[in-house]
Chain A
Amino acid sequence: MAKVYTRPQSLLPVPSGFCPGCLHSMAIKLVGEVVDELGQLDNTMHIIPVGCSTLNLLYWKGDNLGSAHGRAPAVATGFKRCCPERLVFAYQGDGDLASIGLAEIIAAANRGENFTVIFANNSTYGMTGGQMAPTTLIGQKATTCKMGRDPADSGYPMKMCELLSTLEAPAFVARYALNTPKGVNEARKGIKKAFEYQMAGKGFTFVELLINCPTNWGMSPLQTLEYMETNTIPYFKPGVYKDKEAEVK
């Protein structure tokens, strides 16, 4: 008898606070699997943002540190500089990271701060009821754009991996989609690589995870997986956008 899969030890033995089918659960589960594998739970510091992922406060078993909306990279910077031996990750939503916190993420990435950002992009402001985010797709409806996003009015959805990978300092920048087993398995590897780079002191690492929001997209969980395949993924293309180690070789 061999266990093929067991629930990560890095998660508390309680149900998550997320809605049914929400892939925030998947994202933090993957982080938990990697932290388990690296044996780092007691050494992690999870920087909590504002958004639905704040619910991880009651789900992640390790240490948590709260931050003001969008300011997780600034808090992570301070903590990591004081405690460089700790494995630090900020877990941020797209409204948090690409809107109110845009200055903080770019500045931290540009300084090459040695921590990891897990960027959970569901192209909406989930927690506050589905307003348009900087990442809302063209034509995607939101409570603040009933007819769907129109670039003439609101600009185009912001591609954070593409943007950050133009900076000199970041060591690893990659995007994965969590709507298929292949995407999930690749994302796990990406998160592991980011954490290993951080532990080796290589600098700023950024892992974008394309997720969903069944509740505010107004779809069943299974419908959101299809929507991601036909709408989200063609625009936010998965892939490794920057890998300093690969450049050296």
Chain B
Amino acid sequence: MNSVQISALFCKGCAYCVKFCPKQILEMGTVRSRKGHFNPVVTDPEKCIACGICATMCPEAAIEVTKGE
């Protein structure tokens, strides 16, 4: 399965990934990270097409995207 890993160390909660995901499967979480930011969560991982747009638009290079078999 395709997957998206979001680093709570690097993420600063700008929501650019949420805005640009073509599948609209990212949403800002409601719990602050230890860094004090809200991090996005993947609402429907099954729908991820591993396009990498979220990672492209993440200024902090906080997202890694993996394409499954």
Contact = CB atoms under 8 A, between A and B. Distances in A.
Interface of A: 1-8, 11, 15-16, 18-26, 29, 32, 180-181, 184-185, 221-222, 225
Interface in B8-45: 9-10, 12-16, 19-20, 35, 37
Contacts of B37: 20
Contacts of B68: 1
A1 B69 contact: yes
B35 A15 contact: yes
Contact of A222 (B19, B62, B63, B69): B19
Interface residues of B, number: 29
Given A15-B35, A20-B37, A25 B60 contact: yes
Contact of B59 (A1, A26, A180, A222): A26
Report whether over half of chain B's contact residues are helix, strand or loop; otherwise say mixed: loop
Contact of B15 (A11, A19, A29, A222): A222
A67 B11 CA distance: 30
Contacts of B12: 15, 19-21
B55 A5 contact: yes
B10 A222 contact: no
Contacts of B53: 181
A2 B59 contact: no
Contacts of A32: 61
Interface of B: 9-10, 12-16, 19-20, 35, 37, 50-53, 55-57, 59-69
B14 A5 contact: no
Contacts of A24: 59
Contacts of A25: 59-61
A169 B10 CA distance: 41
Nearest to A21: B14
Contacts of A23: 59
21 contacts: A1-B66, A1-B68, A4-B50, A5-B64, A5-B65, A7-B61, A7-B64, A8-B61, A15-B9, A16-B59, A16-B60, A20-B12, A21-B12, A22-B59, A23-B59, A25-B60, A26-B59, A32-B61, A180-B20, A221-B14, A225-B19
Contacts of A225: 16, 19
Contacts of B65: 3-5
Nearest to A27: B59
B64 to A, nearest CB: 5
Given A15-B35, A20-B37, A222-B15, A4 B57 contact: no
B36 to A, nearest CB: 10
A8 B10 CA distance: 13
A112 B19 CA distance: 41
Given A5-B55, A29-B60, 4 more contacts: A16-B60, A21-B16, A22-B59, A225-B19
B3 to A, nearest CB: 9
